[in-house]
């Protein structure tokens, strides 16, 4: 699992503030409350623009924290206060990204797009439809009575609550559902948007975020038309598929072969 940039920024900021305050108390140079406000207000200010790795804002923040360390007598570990490392900040599609159904090649960008949580992987196997891809921990189980090992799984994106139409319900659910599928031995995941969001266009992004982490199996988002052709159901099937229908899983007659491939993008940055 990859840790997000925001996690590094938040955890790094909190650790720096802790060290500054601890040193401040020991040296009795500052009132603790006023000192905390001063540091937080500056490090969270618009001037630093979020402190994203590789930007002037993160350099200003590093210079500020370094000076505070010097002021209160914290010595560097070695020759520098900074520990440099490479941070995964995104990915772009590599040359090979393919999806075939029963030996028929589909079109990248209109029929399918690799998910930003997908690993670099390829797999071939039968396909099972598992509804919303819910594990028993959610009170509904999509995997009861079906063996998914070695199979591609079609999973409806989104929250178990049909009323939750937020972007967060779509994005955060993908990772947990794909991880559940991988843990159960699935060969890959084919996500399809729920009926209320089926008009969302598939999009090949210049840069795919890696903020949610990655799954070690191929994960692909497919169009509703593609999903219906695999499960051999009428257009109304996904429209009428509520959570209350769970479990409603079945193995299809289709065989899917696919490969997902990303070029990973790293940014040099440092901790203090």
The per-residue pLDDT of the chain, averaged, comes to 81
The overall pTM is greater than 0.85 = no
Q: Which residue shows structure tokens 């795919």?
A: 208
* pLDDT tens per residue, range 139-158: 667 888 899 999 999 999 88
The token pair at 62 is 């590093």
In eight-state DSSP terms, residue 49 is: T
Contact (Cβ atoms closer than 8 angstroms) between residue 128 and residue 153: yes
The token pair at 173 is 């659910």
Residue 253, judged by CB atoms within 10 A of its CB (0-12, 13-18, 19+), counts as exposed
* pLDDT tens per residue, range 229-243: 999 988 788 777 765
Per-residue pLDDT band for 244 (boundaries 50, 70, 90) equals: low
Region 197-214 average pLDDT: 74
Tell me which range, 22-26, 74-78, 253-257, is most confidently predicted by mean pLDDT.
Answer: 253-257
On the question of pLDDT at 118 being above 90, the answer is yes
> Over 119-172, what HEC string results?
CCEEEEEEEEECCCCCCHHHCCCCCCCCCCCCCEEEEECCCCCCCCCCHHHHHH
Neighbours of 225 (CB within 10 A): 12
């Amino acid at each position: 699992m990859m840790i997000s940039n925001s996690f590094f920024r938040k955890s790094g900021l909190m650790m720096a503030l802790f060290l500054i305050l601890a040193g401040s108390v020991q040296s009795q140079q500052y009132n603790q409350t006023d000192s905390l406000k001063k540091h937080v207000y500056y490090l969270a200010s618009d001037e630093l623009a979020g402190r994203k790795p590789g930007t002037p804002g993160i350099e200003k923040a590093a210079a500020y924290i370094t000076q505070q360390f010097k002021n209160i007598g914290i010595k560097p570990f070695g020759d520098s206060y900074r520990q440099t490392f490479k941070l995964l900040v995104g990915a772009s599609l590599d040359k090979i990204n393919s999806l075939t159904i029963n030996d028929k090649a589909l079109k990248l960008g209109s029929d399918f797009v690799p998910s930003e949580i997908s690993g670099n992987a390829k797999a071939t196997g039968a396909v099972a439809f598992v509804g919303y891809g819910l594990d028993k921990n959610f009170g509904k189980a999509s995997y009861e009575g079906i063996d998914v090992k070695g199979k591609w799984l079609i999973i409806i994106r989104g929250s178990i609550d049909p009323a939750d139409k937020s972007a967060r319900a779509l994005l955060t659910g993908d990772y947990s559902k794909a991880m559940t599928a991988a843990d159960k031995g699935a060969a890959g995941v084919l996500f399809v948007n729920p009926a209320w969001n089926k008009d969302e266009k598939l999009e090949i992004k210049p840069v795919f975020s890696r903020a949610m982490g990655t799954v070690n199996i191929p994960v692909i988002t497919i169009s509703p038309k593609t999903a219906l052709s695999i499960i051999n159901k009428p257009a109304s099937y996904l429209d009428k598929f509520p959570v209350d229908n769970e479990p409603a899983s079945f193995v299809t007659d289709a065989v899917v072969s696919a490969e997902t491939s990303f070029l990973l993008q790293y940014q040099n940055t440092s901790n203090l």
